Structure 1
Amino acid sequence: MSTVLKRVDSHSSDDTLVGPSRPLERQLGETEVSYFLPSRESGVNDMYLHLGFRAPPETMKRGRVLSVWSILRLKHPLLASKVEMHDYDDIKFVYTAPESVMDAVESADSNLEYRSQSKDGRSQMINAYLNGPRTLSNERLSYLVISQQPEEDPAQDLPSFDFMLCATHFLGDGMALHNFANDFFTLLASDRADEDVECMLTDEWYARWGGNKVENVSGLPSSLEERLPRTSNGKFYRAACRVDHETSQAKLIGGHSFPRRSGNPRKTVVPTISIDAERTKLMLKKCKAQSVSISAALFSIVNIAWARTCDRNWSLPIMMYSALNLRSVLTASKAFNDSYWYLAIGYFNVVLPTFYPKSGSEEDIEKMFWHRARAAKNQSTHAAKTPMLVSRSQEMARERGQRARMWAREDDEKANGTWRAPPPSPGAPVASKAPSAALIGLSLLGNLDGIYKHKEFPKVQMHTLTTGSRQRAGGMLLFGYTFAGKLWISLGYDEAGFDDAVERFWQNVLTAVDTLLI
């Protein structure tokens, strides 16, 4: 039994009051289903957030970390839930409330790992999460790892640590990860004594579950679809929304994709660069002068980098996709256990020309680059501000959920040896459609220093942030964000699933950043 367990168990008799006798549960929403079903076999889309930082050793004692981890699992019950699947249309979050403070701590302790690492331990830890056996499961939706790095610079006053939070993607999104990490370090590195943090844990449990106040509990945090503003249920309106969605999707044309290889075991790699703070300031200043954000500029960087990589189909445009943060349009949830741990993302696409002149002045290339960055900005803005945002998000969620069920059923039937290919559809030949291949996905997180309130935890000196997810074979996603005053760009992809065009593309990305953003 850990120290914190002994301390907490020695509190007042209130600790032994029993919570609700039956678990809380709710059905997964369509967006959650679309992430849950592909994750069953090997953890596709399981997320991680890694932070490298320096901190006083007393701040990082296991007992104190465990108390904070326990508090936040009480505040955000989906972290401590499990998933039960009874059918493709019957998939539930199930949360069993802790019967005591000790019960809450024991649950958190079983999902907390402390480790010491070698010099290369950080990269090994991330590589093991991405490519090794799955860390998470239907029974374990979140997991926290804390490790201490060996001291490389004796002149440093504080030791170096790593924080890695693992969570399934159907539990939440990137904003949930980063808001959680900010809350974690704000509480961990506060001036409160260890005993005061333990009292906070007792108070948190008692406020939620002490005294059998089950009548105050209204349920788990709601799904995206339940939080979207209500629209008309009329048949005509629903039909019009479907037509609008299908029309908007039909306009998306993309004629480029990376050449793929198959038959090799998946191996995800994440090459990452960071731009020093002074150069990042110059980049931000230049983007502002061109009336675009770094995010819009990165769409154009990818566009130029691919145009320099490929040697065919320049007449067809490049299509890229990205996630759209929907939190600003959601209605508030009144659930007792409401939290920011839920999925709140939609999806949009940016389509840019591929043509790239083989000869031309640097000035002409730069003008073209910024013109395409502004085009990306306009498309992103239109996607976020269209009056049809809610209905398109609903239609997309429904479509993704249905598609995930279809693929999951097919995968299960193939595994059971019962799958049969559907017969060809009779009737007139289907009219040819414009190509709609997406080259790559971009996860553009913006300025994360707006989320991490570094001044709130001055004892902790953060210096590194990387994030990503376990990918399916042939997966690829480019990340871009600013953190600790630096611009970070990383490319997570299945090294075994592509030919060397990806390496040439990545070098062209780095060259474009160096020559066009400064």
Structure 2
Amino acid sequence: MDSSLPVLLDVSHSVSSENSEVNPQGSFCSSLKDTWKVERPLGNSELSYFLPSRASGVNDMYLHLGFVSPEHVVRRARVRLVWAILRIRHPLLASKVLMQGYDDVRFVFTPPQSPEDALVDADYNLEYRSSTKDELIDSYLNGSRTLSSDRLSYLIVSQGGTSLPSPPLTPRSTSPFDERESPSYNYDIMICAAHFLGDGMALHQFANDFFGLLGSEKTIAELEAQLKEELSSRWGTDSTRTAALPNALEDSFTVRPSKLRNAAEKVDFQLSQQRLVGGHSFRRQTKQPRHTIVPTVSYDPEQTKSILKRCKTHGVSISAAMFAACNIAWAKMCTEKQDLSMMMYSALNLRPYFTVKPVNDSYWFLAIGYFNVILPTFIPRSIDLSSVFWHRARVAKEQCTQAAKNRMIVSRSLLMAEERGQRARLWAKEDDERERGTFVPPPPAPPVPAADTALRTPSAALIGLSLLGNLDGIYKHGTFPTIQLHTLTTGSRQRSGGMLLFGYTFAGKLWVSLGYDINGFDKTMVEQFWGNVLQTMDELLLK
């Protein structure tokens, strides 16, 4: 990791305080001559993702979508225009990060001075390749980092397939693109974004909006007009007093200062953390550099309908069933510590809990908390496996519901964000000092009494689950009829020993994938677990 704390903004953009002001939403606006910028500090949640990402891009997100489209729809000029419009609409995508200290890290957005500048910026962050889906994903996950503090988002388009049948040509074209229909091809697209910009909900909503514009009936001239209008209305010279970046998570809630309330929330948070009991984890190994793979399985539409119907019959969602599938898969291979529970973690969308009005209409911001599902590890011999599975799926559903409806969810999420932010600062400082060769290890902690060690409850999580639900509720396929989406894969660059299971429905299919560092775990153990997950789904969800 680079040990310096670089100033990532050109010095020509620096301004004195007399030319600066803080708008009502808290973003810092400044101007100098014809150039102005908007900036705000990163919140604790954002810092907890940004600081670890500096070295090799840990948690940098990607969303891959495979689709069939006429060639003229995916030409660079059109894609660049759509990309530029959306980067104007969602300024964090086109921002930079300025770090001057572990407690002084800011987003900085310098609005383009003209539509031409916006197109230049979009083009610089757009790449066309001739790669397959697997090559794109492998390069992003295991190659050199695509993103940086100067490049927080990136778009890759690839035509890895051959020409596909297209509608017959008509004597006179009625295409909104003022040209005859072009051949259709299979394309792959990768939307890349740093995780501290936003979460999965933002990523998928963005993809839907991207295809909605790309596949719309708007001509190039109409898209150019839209770019000009949005740039002027959002970031024109009349907007300098009201322009703002999206709120940090911590600023999206109304906080009423109260010492008693704060003390009660901290006690509740500590007690909730003490209840997290998990005694199981995969055996790890670190002999080789990290290499992430993403084995993926999809179920055809008929199988998917059958699975969803079976889940509904048992009163659970497919998400709850996935927790149970992982639990049964591990229990089948577990030979020790069966008296200890198995713990899994997942993310919770915090947008429904916001009490502060958003400062703009961008949905690109980070808004996730975390919760855990804890299930028994053993499988009773006196009860058939199907009954055990569906019972544990219902228990998982109850725990998910309790986490979402807990009246302390906001305070717990904010305190967890604060804790994660503090840890990230400490670890980042240590990493930088090690890189510089100035790190001094802290003195050893005093020995823990044996009695205290014996009473300490283990809190290891076996695996994380990212359960995205029905993505066909987000992707409005009918609004871009010239584009047929057929494949979706998502994930992020991982740290050594990272593992995350994804489950979602898309294009009428149920998809399950396991992203993990193949060099970070006992290979046989992970393959057995993954095989057990798929076998459990086949035996208990399909039949």
- TM-score band, normalised by the shorter chain? over 0.9
**Out of 435, 443, 449, which is 1:415 matched to?**
435
CA contact (8 A) 1:221 1:333 kept: no
- CA drift at 1:149: 2.0
Task: Show the counterpart of 2:479.
Answer: 456
Alpha-carbon distance between aligned partners in 2 of 1:455 and 1:99, rounded to the nearest angstrom:
35
- CA drift at 1:437: 0.5
CA contact (8 A) 1:26 1:94 kept: yes
Task: Show the counterpart of 1:218.
Answer: 243
Is 1:39 paired with 2:39?
A: no
Task: Show the counterpart of 1:476.
Answer: 499
Is 1:144 paired with 2:170?
A: no
TM-superposition CA deviations, 1:451-494 (whole Å, max 9, x none): 00011111111100000000000000000000001100000000
Task: Show the counterpart of 1:109.
Answer: 123
Task: Show the counterpart of 1:246.
Answer: 270
User: Quick one: structure 1 residues 427 and 515, their matched pair in 2 at CA, closer, same or farther if it must change by over 3 Å?
Assistant: closer
Gaps of 5+ in 1: 1-17
Alpha-carbon distance between aligned partners in 2 of 1:106 and 1:59, rounded to the nearest angstrom:
20
Alpha-carbon distance between aligned partners in 2 of 1:347 and 1:19, rounded to the nearest angstrom:
45
Task: Show the counterpart of 1:257.
Answer: 281
Is 1:393 paired with 2:413?
A: yes
Alpha-carbon distance between aligned partners in 1 of 2:397 and 2:304, rounded to the nearest angstrom:
20
Alpha-carbon distance between aligned partners in 1 of 2:133 and 2:372, rounded to the nearest angstrom:
34
**Out of 92, 100, 114, which is 2:106 matched to?**
92
Under a length normalisation based on structure 2, what TM-score does the superposition of the two structures give? 0.88
**Out of 70, 74, 92, which is 2:84 matched to?**
70
User: Quick one: structure 1 residues 313 and 20, their matched pair in 2 at CA, closer, same or farther if it must change by over 3 Å?
Assistant: farther
- CA drift at 1:417: 1.6
Matches within 5 A, 1:249-288: 249-288=273-312
- Deviating beyond 6 angstroms after TM superposition, the runs of 4 or more aligned structure 1 residues are 152-157
CA contact (8 A) 2:70 2:166 kept: no
Alpha-carbon distance between aligned partners in 2 of 1:411 and 1:425, rounded to the nearest angstrom:
20
- CA drift at 1:420: 2.1
**Out of 122, 136, 140, which is 1:125 matched to?**
136
User: Quick one: structure 1 residues 205 and 428, their matched pair in 2 at CA, closer, same or farther if it must change by over 3 Å?
Assistant: closer
Matches within 5 A, 1:305-316: 305-316=329-340
Q: Which moved more, 1:423-432 or 1:490-499?
A: 423-432
CA contact (8 A) 2:41 2:105 kept: yes
**Aligned partner of 1:315: which letter?**
D
CA contact (8 A) 2:163 2:186 kept: no
**Out of 363, 370, 385, which is 1:347 matched to?**
370
Under a length normalisation based on structure 1, what TM-score does the superposition of the two structures give? 0.92
SS in 2 for 1:464: strand
Matches within 5 A, 1:498-513: 498-499=521-522, 500-513=524-537
**Aligned partner of 2:375: which letter?**
L
Alpha-carbon distance between aligned partners in 2 of 1:170 and 1:334, rounded to the nearest angstrom:
18
CA contact (8 A) 1:19 1:98 kept: no
**Aligned partner of 2:75: which letter?**
K
SS in 1 for 2:500: strand
CA contact (8 A) 1:116 1:149 kept: yes
Is 1:162 paired with 2:188?
A: yes
TM-superposition CA deviations, 1:206-258 (whole Å, max 9, x none): 21233x21344332111111012x23311111111011001001001000000
Is 1:436 paired with 2:459?
A: yes
**Aligned partner of 2:300: which letter?**
D
SS in 2 for 1:170: helix
Alpha-carbon distance between aligned partners in 1 of 2:483 and 2:161, rounded to the nearest angstrom:
17
CA contact (8 A) 1:222 1:333 kept: no
Alpha-carbon distance between aligned partners in 1 of 2:224 and 2:36, rounded to the nearest angstrom:
27
Is 1:135 paired with 2:135?
A: no
- CA drift at 1:197: 1.0
CA contact (8 A) 2:252 2:358 kept: no
User: Quick one: structure 1 residues 242 and 20, their matched pair in 2 at CA, closer, same or farther if it must change by over 3 Å?
Assistant: farther
CA contact (8 A) 2:62 2:193 kept: yes
Quick one: percent identity of the two aligned structures?
A: 59
**Aligned partner of 2:325: which letter?**
I
Task: Show the counterpart of 1:3.
Answer: none
CA contact (8 A) 1:259 1:498 kept: yes
Alpha-carbon distance between aligned partners in 1 of 2:85 and 2:311, rounded to the nearest angstrom:
41
SS in 2 for 1:143: strand
Is 1:325 paired with 2:349?
A: yes
CA contact (8 A) 1:36 1:170 kept: yes
Alpha-carbon distance between aligned partners in 2 of 1:509 and 1:481, rounded to the nearest angstrom:
15
Matches within 5 A, 1:349-364: 349-357=372-380, 364=384
Task: Show the counterpart of 1:187.
Answer: 213
CA contact (8 A) 1:446 1:481 kept: yes
CA contact (8 A) 1:47 1:469 kept: yes
SS in 2 for 1:133: coil
TM-superposition CA deviations, 1:60-100 (whole Å, max 9, x none): 11111111100000000000000011111110000011111
Alpha-carbon distance between aligned partners in 1 of 2:114 and 2:162, rounded to the nearest angstrom:
39
Alpha-carbon distance between aligned partners in 1 of 2:96 and 2:374, rounded to the nearest angstrom:
39
- CA drift at 1:150: 2.2
CA contact (8 A) 2:501 2:513 kept: yes
CA contact (8 A) 2:164 2:185 kept: no
**Aligned partner of 1:396: which letter?**
M
Task: Show the counterpart of 1:9.
Answer: none
CA contact (8 A) 2:234 2:243 kept: no
Alpha-carbon distance between aligned partners in 2 of 1:231 and 1:382, rounded to the nearest angstrom:
23
CA contact (8 A) 1:220 1:338 kept: no
CA contact (8 A) 1:23 1:96 kept: yes
- CA drift at 1:56: 1.0
SS in 2 for 1:517: helix
CA contact (8 A) 2:166 2:184 kept: no
SS in 1 for 2:262: helix
SS in 1 for 2:128: strand
Alpha-carbon distance between aligned partners in 1 of 2:504 and 2:348, rounded to the nearest angstrom:
15
CA contact (8 A) 1:232 1:238 kept: no
Is 1:83 paired with 2:106?
A: no
SS in 2 for 1:262: coil
TM-superposition CA deviations, 1:140-195 (whole Å, max 9, x none): 00000111122286699731011110000000000000000000111111111111
- CA drift at 1:332: 4.5
CA contact (8 A) 1:49 1:166 kept: yes
